[in-house]
């Protein structure tokens, strides 16, 4: 094998990082795979743009066919983003017997099964480590390192933007809107941050992780998703008082043959390892029946961290080429999809209520919880500035989601309750 030729779709932040790593680490890469790796063609939108990377203009093209139909290109690396059009490009590249490395979590969450199946049928590899948690090798760990274990739970901070916002709100007592503007100015948040702050980005990553972790074809519709747009500084203040830290968590949990997958603001004990994962960093906590608890931590985005994962996938593809085993690494899900019903999902909950400050009101509230067999682990009761109202903050013991949603409905019907200010899932117990 004389040299491996790469076609790169996209030359933004991550694409530039891929070029830098392939060039700067050429000696190490040759030692790993036994031959040079060369970038032969790069798809760009415009040819005359300063890209912050030293690149021969002759290899740039605005025509995707120069890559996906080029018989001299062995591997296509996709870092351009997009879903439907990109899917068509990759399907055509696979039809042309090209191996694929992608960082596209949206594409893999929505069409991963189809692409992997098509790649396998054509004897091609499709690797996508960089689609989740940037530079953290979590997908490789699930597929290879933990392949002999049964994963029972995945719990992670898989979106750097929301983690940055919640960290600043918690540590500095700032309002959500103020921190969002700061995150946008620093480049941690997009001009339109909806995908991040409403939880969709994290939900797509949890589709990928839970499908791999549980060997079950989970879809985006199966992920109960809530973002951080309604979180305020009072919520974080009370959480801290009770010994908790709030994170936007992706949670995938298996009991027997049934699974639940969600993305939601969640209170964690301040002693939990995920509670100390701050700013734009990501971490995924994995529970296995044999290995116990493990945590994978690192930068969740960025040019070089993400490019490191992409080039690691590229090395895996080239090693497979040398062994003649391309297209054989993808394993179809073992189990039929089996999603838990609300009465099968159990958790503790944080609830903040404004109620009339009168005798007997608290008894009315506790009677609603008692009706469904739910008791309190922690209680705070404080006066509020508005005359005649009290603020009641509780952390419940474990309750089914169905019962908890019934409780919320019945509380809203009580004349004594002015407003339910907030409600969040709680993982674990805190000492406060």
Specify whether 87 is located in the same domain as 231: no
Tell me what percent of the residues of the chain surpass a pLDDT of 70: 99
Residues in the chain: 432
Whichever domain contains 84, its CATH number is 3.40.50.720
Domain identity same for 161 and 294? yes
**What number is the average pLDDT over the span 53-73?**
94
Instruction: Indicate whether 331 belongs to any domain.
Output: no
Which comes out higher in pLDDT, residue 334 or 351? 351
- Does residue 263 sit in the same domain as residue 170? yes
Mean pLDDT confidence for 118-140: 92
Identify the domain boundary among 299, 334, 352: 299
User: 145 and 49, same structural domain?
Assistant: no
How many Å from the N-terminal Cα to the C-terminal Cα in the chain? Answer: 62
The tally of domains found in the chain comes to: 3
Angstrom distance (rounded) from CA 317 to CA 313 = 6
How far is it, in rounded angstroms, from Cα 79 to Cα 102?
6
Mean pLDDT of 37-56: 88
Round the average pLDDT of the chain to a whole number and report it. Answer: 93
Shared domain check, 261 and 150: yes
HEC sequence for the chain = CCCEEEEEECCCHHHHHHHHHHHHCHHHHHHHHCCCEEEEEEECCCCCCCCCCCCCHHHEECCCHHHHCCCCCCEEEECCCCCHHHHHHHHHHHHCCCEEEECCHHHHHHHHHHHHHHHHHCCCCEECHHHCCCCCCHHHHHHHHCCCCCEEEEEEECCHHHHHHHHHHHHHCCCHHHHHHHHHHHCCCCCCCHHHHCCHHHHHHHHHHHHHHHCECCCHHHEEECCCCCCCHHHHHHHHHCCEEEEEEEEEEEECCEEEEEEEEEEEECCCHHHHCCCCEEEEEEEECCCEEEEEEEECCCHHHHHHHHHHHHHHHHHHHHHCCCCCCCCCCCECCCECCHHHCEEEEEEEEEEECCCCHHHHHHHHHHHCCCCEEEEEEEECCCCCEEEEEEEECCEEHHHHHHHHHHHHCCCCEEEEEEEEEECCCCCC
- Same-domain check for residues 148 and 266: yes
Closest CA to 91 of 114, 70, 108, 75: 114
Say if residue 134's pLDDT is above 90.
no
Is 80 exceeded by the pLDDT of residue 51? Answer: no
Q: Judge whether 330 lies within some domain.
A: no
Per residue in 260-292, pLDDT (tens digit) is 999 999 999 999 999 999 999 999 999 999 999
Residue 49 has a pLDDT of 81
Is there a single domain that holds both residue 216 and residue 319? no
Please tell me what DSSP assigns to residue 310.
H
Asked if pLDDT for residue 431 goes beyond 70, the answer is no
Q: Tell me, what CATH number does 248's domain have?
A: 3.30.360.10
Residue 38 has pLDDT above 90, yes or no: yes
CATH code, domain with 350: 3.30.70.260
Q: Are 80 and 11 in contact (CB under 8 A)?
A: no
- The predicted-structure confidence for 360-372, as pLDDT tens digits, reads as follows 999 999 999 999 9
Reported as a single tens digit per residue, the pLDDT across 174-227 is 999 999 999 898 888 888 999 999 999 999 999 999 999 999 999 999 999 999
Instruction: Give the model confidence (pLDDT) of 146-167 as tens digits.
Output: 989 999 999 999 999 999 999 9
Residues 149 and 257 in one domain: yes
Please tell me whether residues 263 and 316 are part of one structural domain: no
In a domain, 431, yes or no: no
Greater model confidence, 135 or 246:
246
Predicted local confidence at residue 382, as pLDDT:
87
pLDDT of residue 174: 93
Same-domain pairing of 175 and 274:
yes
Residue 233 has pLDDT above 70, yes or no: yes
Please give the residue range of the domain that contains residue 71.
4-134+303-323
Regarding whether 311 and 295 lie in a shared domain, the answer is no
The residues assigned a catalytic role are: 205
Would you say residue 212 lies in a domain? yes
Q: Domain for residue 413, yes or no?
A: yes
The pLDDT tens digits for 374-412 are 999 999 988 887 778 999 999 999 999 999 999 999 999
């Amino acid at each position: 094998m004389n040299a491996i030729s790469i076609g790169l779709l996209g030359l933004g932040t991550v694409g530039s990082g891929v070029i830098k790593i392939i060039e700067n680490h050429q000696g190490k890469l040759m030692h790993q795979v036994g031959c040079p790796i060369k970038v032969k063609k790069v798809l760009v939108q415009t040819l005359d743009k300063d890209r912050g990377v030293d690149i021969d203009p002759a290899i740039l093209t605005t025509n995707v066919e120069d890559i996906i139909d080029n018989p001299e290109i062995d591997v296509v690396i996709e870092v351009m983003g997009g879903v439907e059009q990109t899917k068509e490009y990759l399907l055509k590249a696979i039809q042309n017997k090209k191996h694929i490395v992608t960082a596209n979590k949206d594409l893999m969450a929505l069409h991963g099964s189809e692409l992997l199946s098509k790649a396998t049928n054509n004897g091609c590899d499709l690797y996508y480590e960089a689609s989740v948690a940037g530079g953290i090798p979590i997908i490789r760990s699930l597929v290879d390192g933990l392949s002999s274990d049964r994963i029972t739970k995945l719990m992670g901070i898989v979106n750097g933007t929301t983690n940055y916002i919640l960290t600043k709100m918690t540590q500095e007592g700032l309002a959500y809107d103020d921190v969002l503007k700061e995150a946008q100015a620093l480049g941690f948040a997009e001009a339109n941050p909806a995908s991040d702050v409403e939880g969709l980005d994290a939900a797509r990553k949890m589709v990928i992780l839970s499908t791999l972790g549980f060997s079950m074809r989970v879809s985006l519709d199966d992920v109960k998703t809530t973002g951080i747009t309604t979180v305020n500084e009072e919520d974080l203040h009370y959480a801290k008082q009770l010994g908790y830290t709030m994170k936007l968590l992706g949670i995938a949990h298996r009991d027997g043959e049934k699974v639940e997958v969600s993305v939601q603001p969640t209170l964690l004990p301040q002693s939990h390892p995920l509670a100390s994962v701050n700013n734009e960093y990501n971490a995924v906590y994995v529970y296995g029946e044999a290995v116990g608890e493990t945590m994978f931590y690192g930068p969740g985005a960025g040019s070089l961290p993400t490019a490191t994962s992409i080039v690691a996938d590229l090395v895996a593809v080239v090693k497979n080429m040398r062994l003649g085993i391309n297209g054989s690494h993808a394993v179809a899900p073992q189990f039929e999809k089996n999603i838990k019903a609300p009465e099968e999902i159990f958790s503790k909950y944080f609830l903040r209520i404004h109620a009339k400050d009168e005798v007997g009101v608290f008894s009315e509230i506790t009677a609603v919880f008692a009706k469904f067999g739910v008791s309190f682990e922690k209680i705070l009761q404080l006066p509020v500035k508005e005359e005649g109202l009290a603020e009641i903050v509780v952390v419940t013991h474990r309750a089914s989601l169905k019962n908890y949603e019934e409780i919320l409905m019945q509380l809203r019907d009580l004349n004594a309750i002015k407003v339910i200010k907030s409600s969040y899932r709680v993982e674990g117990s805190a000492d406060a």
